[in-house]
Amino acid sequence: MQSMESLAQLEVLCEKLYNSRDSAERAHAESTLKCFSENSEYISQCQYILDNASTPYALMLASSSLLKQVSDRSLSLMLRLDIRNYVINYLGTRGPKLQNFVIVSLIQLVCRITKFGWFDDDRFRETVKEATDFLGLASQDHYFIGLKILNNLVTEMNQPNPAMPLTLHRKIAGSFKDQFLLQIFQISLTSLNQLKSEAPDDFGHIPLDLALKCLSFDFVGSPVDESSEEFGTVQLPASWRPLLQDPSTLQIFFDYYKVNDIRVSKEALECLVRLASVRRSIFVEDPARSQFLSHLMLGTKEILLTGQGLADHDNYHEFCRLLGRFKVNYQLAELLNVEFYGEWIGLVAEFTTRSLLSWQWASNSVYYLLSLWSRLVTSVPYLKGETPSLLDETVPKITEGFITSRINSVQAILADNSLENPLDSVEVLQDQLEFLPFLCRFQYQSSSLYIINIMEPLLQAYTERSRLPAPGDADELSVIEGQIAWMVHIIAAIVKVRQSRNTRVD
């Protein structure tokens, strides 16, 4: 680039590239500017743009072009180190004045170079230290740039890249995990504690997001499938044990859940879901595991008592996921040993019943609650000791609540066409009925009587309607048919599933 006049022309093109609504104009700008991302001779020009451009779109072009250049892994070692060092210094000197999308792009560039050069030179690994140095600067802007670098670095290290062989990615991710991930998680906790008294609403989501990314890291080389209904155990290394045994680690996330910001509270719950999923063997001694479980139960008990934050659907869903993890990772006997188990299980039962009745709002979340109860009842035969589980009292109410809510849903769906009918979707129906048979068979006789007492009047009403000479009220008949359909599906699900070999199907 020969002059500031040329730079001004480039800035106009960049404005068109990112902002123009004219597709032809955008295509022309893209064609003209693609040389910056395809030809390594333009790398020095990208630096010139970063040093001299006055518009954020020109800066974005330079940053994104450099990202593409380093991603093809053909640049020399010294050139990659020079780019990394330049961008780190650039963020330190000019970062606070940049638009956020430019900062994000530059950080992604640093993290990409760091990952791709991880085994090429130890100097690439200094990114963690340099990001930490940002946290020590007086400027709050620098502090959050440092957190964002760490945040993006964890993401970059955890995600496979098409330009990198999968085996190399796993080696780099494993090396990064062993060397730095615990340190970065500790930084997130320290930041959360510092910000709690300063500005938790405004900036708490940044260290929370960092903590969540650390807890969601691929610890064993088989990444978590967040799209699945439930994910497995979080395989934290043994070196994380002291942090988990420190009560303040769990408590900081319960504290942030209470912050009056939905994004913050949801991410706090997501962190708690992962902490509740940590492998059992991380706790060498039973007292440490019991203390951790008791703390989780106490925190959820307080949320159940106050209902704080549960009016938000995202919070509600994550809280149901959190409750669903209790029986996945802990035995019923361990739950019973917690001093306030009776109060806790009663509150969970009430919450479940209310959720079942609010089927329009909580249909996807109920899955996790029913999963918890089904796991609890299937553990009862293996329970030792005299401590009552209280499931005899709570489970029948949940079973009845489920059946009643499905029966009542028929009329509501008929009155409101915008509501989805679970009977129309085999997949949704299977999800809703997956765990019910285990609850019904836990108290088989009382459940059977309850079902019979509902089914017989429905069949009688249907028979009487069918004998009428005139068709009568079509909607009323549709309601009866829908309710009978639900009962048939429920009965079929119960008969299909045998909870144990000694169970006799009547």
Handedness of CA 46, 51, 55, 59 (dihedral sign): positive
Q: What is the mean pLDDT of each run of 10 residues along the chain (506 residues)?
A: 73 91 90 91 93 94 95 89 96 94 97 96 96 88 95 97 94 96 97 79 83 94 52 88 96 92 92 95 90 97 96 95 92 94 97 90 88 94 85 94 93 84 84 90 92 94 80 78 94 75 46
Handedness of CA 162, 168, 169, 170 (dihedral sign): positive
Domain residue limits at 471: 402-498
Q: Is residue 492 part of a domain?
A: yes
d(CA 91, CA 105): 11
Q: How does pLDDT run across 244-290, given as a tens digit for each residue?
A: 999 999 999 999 999 878 889 999 999 999 999 999 899 988 899 99
Beta bridge partners of 234: 278
Cβ neighbours of 262 (radius 10 Å): 15
**What pLDDT sits at residue 506?**
45
Q: Torsion angle of alpha carbons 53, 56, 59, 64, nearest 10°?
A: -160
Structure tokens at 265: 């509270």
Cβ neighbours of 333 (radius 10 Å): 14
d(CA 271, CA 98): 30
157-182 burial code (b ≥16 CB/10 A, e <16):
bbeebeeeeeeebeebbeebbeebbb
d(CA 256, CA 299): 12
Q: Is residue 138 part of a domain?
A: no
Tally of domains within the chain:
1
Q: How does pLDDT run across 117-155, given as a tens digit for each residue?
A: 999 999 999 999 999 999 988 688 999 999 999 999 999
**Which DSSP letter does residue 216 get?**
T
Q: What are phi and psi of 3, to 5 degrees?
A: -155, 170
**What pLDDT sits at residue 2?**
52
d(CA 228, CA 247): 30
The secondary structure of 33-101, three-state, reads: HCHHHHCHHHHHHHHHHHHHCCCHHHHHHHHHHHHHHHHCCCCCHHHHHHHHHHHHHHHHHHHHHCCHH
Contacts of 331 (CB under 8 A, 6+ apart): 379
Given the structure tokens 């669903």, which residue do they identify?
324
**What pLDDT sits at residue 229?**
43
Structure tokens at 318: 């994550």
d(CA 121, CA 194): 34
Answer for the pair 211, 271: CB distance below 8 angstroms, yes or no: yes
Q: Is residue 304 part of a domain?
A: no
Q: Is residue 372 part of a domain?
A: no
* Amino acid letter, residue 17: L
Angle ∠(103,211,175) on CA atoms, nearest 5: 85
**For the packed helices 205-215 and 182-196, what is the interaxial angle rounded to 10 degrees?**
150
Distances (CA, A) of 442 to 393, 409, 433, 464: 11, 25, 15, 34
**For the packed helices 127-135 and 77-94, what is the interaxial angle rounded to 10 degrees?**
10
By the 10 Å C-beta count (0-12 exposed, 13-18 middle, 19+ buried), 289 is classed as buried
**What pLDDT sits at residue 193?**
92
**Is the pTM higher than 0.95?**
no
Answer for the pair 437, 430: CB distance below 8 angstroms, yes or no: no
d(CA 208, CA 189): 8
Q: Is residue 251 part of a domain?
A: no
**Strand, coil or helix: 471:** coil
**What pLDDT sits at residue 224?**
52
Longest dimension (CA), the chain: 93
Q: Is residue 430 part of a domain?
A: yes
**What pLDDT sits at residue 383?**
86
d(CA 57, CA 18): 7
Q: Is residue 464 part of a domain?
A: yes
Distances (CA, A) of 204 to 144, 265, 382, 393: 11, 10, 44, 41
Q: How far is CA 454 from the centre of its chain?
A: 39
Q: Is residue 493 part of a domain?
A: yes
d(CA 227, CA 242): 31
Beta bridge partners of 278: 234
